[in-house]
Structure 1
Amino acid sequence: MFGSNNWGELGSREGSSLLLLRGRMIDFAAGAWHYIAIMESGSVYGWGKARLGQLGDGLYGAIPLGGKGMAPSPIEGIPFRPKKVVCGKDFTYLVSDPSQGKHHLLGKDKFNIISNMPEHVKNWKDIGATWHAIFVLINDGTLTAWGKENMWKLLPPNLPLLDKIAVGSDHILAVTKEGKLISWGWGKHGNCGDLSNIGAEMKNDMVSGFWNEINIPGEIQTIGAGYCTSFVVTKQG
């Protein structure tokens, strides 16, 4: 790992770091300044910024300098064996296997991110997080979401059934069951596709309350989303 280390993002106080975790990693996620790894054994490790509880309350109390980061440390107290993790800007969301759909959030209840959690997310297919919201795609193609919604609607009305989702910092890219590519959220930088022909009213470049269909030649194989960016891999010919 290389890069900025203001919050211990590299898992050490040095300028670069080779992380040594015992066992095989089965999932990994990054927030703005914190990182989470799930190991095959079921143990969970976190490092980086911790002052908002995104690495659990136990680690926060053990970190010097007001939560300024540490080497990868085990996170205790997760009430199930996690299989999937996603990170928002300042929170960590852990989920069990789809048959149980148990879930747990580490962090503060900002934007009701904890108090609005559903009872479970059974039969989940994929999960993603913007900076301040969580999105869960269910096997039947339905999408559920909760979190910050004062800038754009997390779920447009009459959303078609979905096959794939990719969740960026503040926008969503999705492939419908019919193979169409759609997007919504903050689209200022072209990450929601060409918005010049949108008939609906838009404020602050927000695709909110509807979605934008993006026409790309070929059969969509993979999609991805980041900070104001979207990525699509297609098969042609």
Structure 2
Amino acid sequence: MTPWKKASSTASKTTKHRSDEDQITPPKKRVVKVKVIEHLPLARIASQPGRVYVFGTGDCAQLGLGEDMTVRKKPANLAALNDQHIVDIAAGGMHNMALTKEGKLWSWGVNDQRTLGRSGDEYTPHPVEGLDDIKVVKVACSDSLTVALTDLGHVYTWGTIRSAEGILGFSKETEVQALPTRVVGLKDIVDIATGTDHVLALDSTGSIYSWGNGQQMQLGRKILSRRMLNGLTPESVGAKDMARVGAGSYHSFAIDKDGKASAWGLNTYGQCGLDDAKVENIPAVAPIKALKNEHIVDIQGGEHHSIALTEDGRLFGFGRSDSHQLGLGYTELPGTEDSTSHKKAIRTPTLIADLPPIESISVGGNHTLALTRDGDVYAWGFGEMLACGNGVEEDVEKPLKLHGQQIEGAKVIKIAAGGQHSVILAVKP
């Protein structure tokens, strides 16, 4: 997930993309059979629809409740989507996507860099344009880019990529892409993930491709500062036999078919799981040794913290902790003091205690949501923007069960944590 920042509007450049027929034909190579990895989390659209609820701060249209409703302390129903058969949700830094049972997308939130994939009102949900004959099965939101995975294994993106200096671009030819466009060169994709300004895509053979901004090594390859636009083209990170991808704002994750997790990218707070304050960046895919005895099924990051989910429903947190992003009840390991940084961190993956078995996680910029197998939600972390849904503008030190009059008696089926807001999908009996 991504930290929040409102970017200035920028007009997009138009360009003509080269077709497959225009590409130079490479010399013939020896054909090598690649074994498709078994038990991959092949993206399939969910069948159970629910109602969307939002909470947190929405002064930049994140809540979708209209221009006059900019704060919700507790979950509030997004009534505009009640008849749309929503089966999945995604939250970016300041925009959101809702996926229908039919594979269509609705969007709302900041549209400065065309992240909504449409024109019109930002404060209420409307359909994404240009996907009429396309069925989306998964969607992910970065800070200024949206990524959609189709049932045919194709990837569509729109918006732009930013760097520390400002807009980097959508591609070498296009600065801002207004409507969904297919990513050339990617096929048979089964999973996607986004950081603040980078994207990961996993194909059916277990290979991972990355593109975007590589200033913090989050792409798993070296990008020269004078050739930063090269990062906008998807390239393999060199990993094999992987079964899932995940991302933090400036770091990346992969899980292999045996449940072993790896990471690369920014590690200033130990958010890559490497307990070495001297290693600020991990340039290539590296196993998280501290989790080698755990079977990991999901791993995601926020701005500078990370959460890992095990097969048996336990959570491990590591990284920055000054706003209780890890939900441990403390900001440093007892008896230790991190003198290498003015910000507190827990660099060793540490079990988050006193939680029931967890089904799924969503990590926002500086807060986290966890969905239990019984359909309850726990939240913790930075609370000033009310993104934890507890109604108090204070940090939440330990996982706190989400309550609210509008979701009383409901079973939550999906969660999405954004920059300063959160979105859930729930079903009432």
For residue 52 of structure 1, the aligned residue among 142, 154, 168 is: 168
Q: Deviations over 1:149-198 (max 9, x none)?
A: 23425124532313333413222212345654220011222220111572
Q: Secondary structure at the match of 1:83?
A: strand
Instruction: Please give the secondary structure, in 2, of the residue aligned with 1:137.
Output: strand
Q: How big is the shift at 1:32?
A: 0.7
1:118-161 residue CA offsets vs partner (Å, 9 max, x unmatched): 5223142x321111111112232311111112342512453231
| Counterpart residue identity of residue 183, structure 2 | I
Whether 1:42 aligns to 2:153 is yes
Aligned AA (1:206): A
Residue of structure 1 equivalent to 2:210: 105
TM-score normalised by the chain length of structure 2:
0.47
1:117-132 correspondence runs (5 A): 118-124=237-243, 126-132=244-250
Alpha-carbon distance in structure 2 between the residues aligned to 1:152 and 1:158: 11
8 Å contact from structure 2 (residues 206, 240) kept in 1: yes
SS in 1 for 2:216: helix
Name the SS of the counterpart of 1:95 in structure 2.
strand
Q: Does 1:207 align with 2:346?
A: yes
| Mean CA deviation greater in 212-221 or 32-41 | 212-221
Contact 2:194 2:247 in 1 (8 A): yes
- Contact 2:273-2:349 at 8 Å conserved across structures: no
Q: Which residue, out of 315, 321, 338, partners 1:181?
A: 315
Runs of 5+ consecutive residues of structure 1 not aligned to the other structure? none
Identify unmatched segments of 5+ residues in structure 2: 1-106, 162-166, 223-235, 275-288, 375-429
Question: TM-score w.r.t. structure 1 length?
Answer: 0.81
CA distance in 1, matches of 2:332, 2:344: 13
Structure 1's 197 and 102: CA in aligned 2 closer, same or farther, altered over 3 A?
closer
1:163·1:176 contact (CA, 8 Å) conserved in 2?
A: yes
What residue is the counterpart of 1:198 in the other structure? Answer: 333
* Partner Cα separation in structure 2 for residue 71 and residue 81 of structure 1: 22
Secondary structure, counterpart of 1:158 in structure 2: helix
Change (3 A) 1:197 1:89: closer
Matched with 2:366 is 228
Identity of aligned residues (%): 19
- Opposite residue 11 of structure 1, the aligned amino acid is G
Aligned partners of 1:24 and 1:39 also within 8 Å: yes
Contact 1:184 1:211 in 2 (8 A): yes
Over 3 Å counting, the alpha-carbon distance change for 1:69 and 1:144 in structure 2 is same
What is the root-mean-square deviation of aligned Cα atoms in Å? 2.5
- Work out whether 1:70 is the aligned partner of 2:178: yes
Question: Any residues of structure 2 matched to 1:24-35 within 5 Å, and which?
Answer: 24-35=135-146
User: When the two structures are aligned, how many residues end up with a matched partner?
Assistant: 223
Kindly provide the amino acid, as one letter, of the partner of residue 6 in structure 1: D
Aligned counterparts of 1:197 and 1:111: Cα–Cα separation in 2: 24
